[in-house]
Chain A
C-alpha cells in the first residue's frame, strides 16, 4: 500500500528550482533512502513533505489523501514526524519535557497526562536516554541530541518518519548504535524515509533508494541497483570501490 505519494513536486527559491517535478512514492513499512550531492534538494523535499514549505506546483498525498497546503502541526498529527539536519531541540528544557511535547501535542488521539508520561519514559528507554532525562537538552552530546529528536518524533506516534541525516557528525560507534536504533524503529512497523551520506547505513538499512541531483530525481532502485548505476556513480558516489567503505 502506498503511504506517501508525490506528483510533480516542485519548489522554486527565487528563480532557482530546489526541487523540480519530482514524482515519488513510499510503500507502507518500507525504509527508503534519499541520497544525492549537497544542494540536491533532499532537505527541501523533506520540508515539502512535512509542510514546512508548500510545493508549487505539485501534490503530496498521505495514505491517498491530498495533504498539500496543510499546516505542519496538522501533518504531524496525521502521522508524519520528522527530525532535522541541524538539531532543533528545546535546548533549555529537560530531555523528558522535549519528548513530552511530542507526546502531548503530536499524537492523533488525545492522551491523558499519565499516559503521555508513560509513553515518554518508554521512548527515552527505547532510544537509551533514560539516565539523562532530567538534564537540559543542550547538555547532551550531538549523538544523544539526535536520539532525542528521534524520541520526540516517535512520541507523536507516526506512521511515517522522516530522518534528516541522523548519522552526520557521529563517530563509528555512534553510527553503529544509530543503525541499531533504525532497525528497531523499522521493527515497530514504522515507515522511514532517510536522508543520509553515510553509505554503509544507506546500503545496509534501506529497501529502496531515491537519488536526487540538482532538484531532479535521477535514479531509483534497490541499494544494489543504485550502487552499480553509472549515472549515480558519476554524480554522487564516485568510484565504486568507495561504496560501503565509508
Chain B
C-alpha cells in the first residue's frame, strides 16, 4: 500500500466520525420528538454494547454485570439529580460505577470462564436486593422519583457519552494495551510471562467499561422519572449487550455498533408492529445469525466489501 493510501485512510475514519456526530448532534432540529427519543434509546444500547466489548470482547471474560453498573449509575442519578448540574451527575454516575467495578474486578477477575460469568450475574441480583432491603428498612419506600430533564438534553448528553466512548475505544484498540488485551484473550498465562501485568490491565479495563455503563444509566434515569431496584437492575440489560455484540460481530470496531443499532431498532419495530410475535421473530432472527454468521453482521459486510476492488483495506 502506498503512503498516500495510508494517510487518506487515517483521515477517513475520523472524518466520517465527525460528520456522523455533527449530523446526530443537529438531530433535535430536524427530527420529530419520537425520532430523538428512539435514537437516544439506540445510543444507550450502543454505549452498553461497545463498552461491554471493550472488556469482554477482547479478553474473553464473559461479564454479565452490565445491568449492575448501569443500575449504579441510575441510583447515583436518583440520589443526586436536581441538586447539582446534570452533566456532573452523569460524570459522577460513571465514576461511582468505575469504583464499584474496580473493587469487584480486583476481587473476582481471578475467576475464569463460567465462574466469572456467574459471579457477575450474581452481582446484579446482589446489589438489587441489597438496595431493596436498604430502601424498605431506612427510607420506607421502594422506589424513587428522578428529576425530569427535557428530551433534547438527554439526547445530547447521551451523544456526548457516545462520542467519548468512541474515542476511548479507538485509543485503546490502537494502543499497546489493546494488543495486550487480545493477548490475554488468547493465552493469559503466556501474556503474563511476556511481561503483561494481566491483573492490573483486566481490572482497569473492566472499570473503564463500567464507567460508560454507569454514565449511560445516570442520564437514562432522568427519562424514566420513576425508578426502583427492579427497574434499575434489570437483568435483561446484562444479556442484551452480549447478544448485540455477537449479532454485530466483535472482530471489527463497527460490529457492536451495527449489532446494537439493528437489534434496538428491530425491537422497536417488532414491539409496535407485532406485539404478540415480537419475541418469536426476534428469537428466530438471532438463531439464524448465530448459526450462519459466526462473524456476525460485520463479517457479512466485510465479505461483500472485499468483492469490490479497492475494498481490501476493510480487512485490516
Contact = CB atoms under 8 A, between A and B. Distances in A.
A52 B196 CA distance: 13
Contacts of A74: 197
Q: Which of A74, A90, A93 lies at the interface centre, i.e. has the most chain B CB atoms within 10 A of its CB?
A: A90
Contact of B190 (A84, A92, A107): A84
Contacts of A155: 194
Contacts of B190: 84, 88-90, 152
Given A104-B176, A104-B179, A156 B195 contact: yes
Nearest to A92: B186
A100 B199 CA distance: 20
Nearest to A138: B186
A105 B195 contact: yes
B313 to A, nearest CB: 15
A98 B43 CA distance: 35
Contacts of B195: 73, 76-77, 101-102, 104-107, 156
B187 A88 contact: yes
A191 interface: no
A91 B193 contact: no
Contacts of A167: none
B189 A88 contact: yes
Contacts of A153: 194
Contacts of A156: 194-195
Contacts of A102: 194-195
Given A104-B176, A104-B179, A89 B187 contact: yes
Given A72-B193, A73-B196, A102-B195, A90 B176 contact: no
Contacts of A73: 192-198
Interface string B161-190: 000000000000000100110110011011
A68 interface: no
B187 A91 contact: yes
Contacts of B37: none
A102 B198 CA distance: 13
B45 to A, nearest CB: 28
Interface string A88-130: 1111110001001110111100000100000000000000000
Contacts of A52: 189, 192-193
A88 to B, nearest CB: 4
A71 B197 contact: yes
B243 interface: no
A101 B191 contact: yes
A60 to B, nearest CB: 15
A213 interface: no
A233 B37 CA distance: 80
Q: Which of B182, B186, B198 lies at the interface centre, i.e. has the most chain A CB atoms within 10 A of its CB?
A: B186
Given A84-B190, A104-B176, A105-B176, A93 B182 contact: yes
Contact of A101 (B189, B196, B199): B196
Contacts of A42: none
Contacts of B199: 71
Contact of B187 (A50, A90, A97, A107): A90
A148 to B, nearest CB: 11
B179 A101 contact: yes
A191 B190 CA distance: 21
Contacts of B183: 90, 93, 101
B301 to A, nearest CB: 20
Nearest to A108: B195
A104 B199 CA distance: 17
Q: Which of A52, A74, A93 lies at the interface centre, i.e. has the most chain B CB atoms within 10 A of its CB?
A: A93
A153 B190 CA distance: 10
Interface string A8-48: 00000000000000000000000000000000000000000
Contacts of B180: 101, 104-105
A81 B193 contact: yes
Contacts of B198: 73
Contacts of B191: 90, 101
B248 to A, nearest CB: 19
Nearest to A72: B192
B107 to A, nearest CB: 17
A84 B196 CA distance: 16
A82 interface: yes
Contacts of B179: 93, 97, 100-101, 104
Interface string A141-177: 0000000000011011000000000000000000000
Interface of B: 176, 179-180, 182-183, 186-187, 189-199
6 contacts: A72-B189, A76-B195, A93-B182, A101-B196, A104-B180, A113-B176
Given A88-B187, A90-B182, 4 more contacts: A72-B193, A102-B195, A105-B176, A153-B194
Interface of A: 50, 52, 71-74, 76-77, 81-82, 84, 88-93, 97, 100-102, 104-107, 113, 152-153, 155-156
